[in-house]
Amino acid sequence: MNADVALASQGPRGGTGTASHLTQMPMAVAVYGTTVLIAAAALIGAARRRLRN
């Protein structure tokens, strides 16, 4: 990986670190919430197909 690309992912100052708690929580909710919604939709779809057959 190019060093410029790695630094670009950290933002314009190029410093390393982690996101604040206020940033991490909404990101985690968005990622895990979306995953749960997709899994629930898949399970509901499978159950509906199973009941029809």
How confident is the prediction along the chain (53 residues), in pLDDT tens digits per residue?
A: 455 545 455 555 555 567 788 888 999 999 999 999 999 999 999 999 999 87
32 token code pair: 């895990």
Alpha-carbon Rg of the chain, whole angstroms? 19
Q: Is the dihedral of CA 39, 40, 42, 47 positive or negative?
A: positive
Amino acid at the residue 40 = A
34 token code pair: 């979306």
Inter-CA distances, 39 with 11, 21, 27, 49, Å: 33, 26, 18, 15
Q: Give pLDDT, residue 22.
A: 87
Q: Output the pTM of the full model.
A: 0.57
Distance CA 18, CA 20 (A): 6
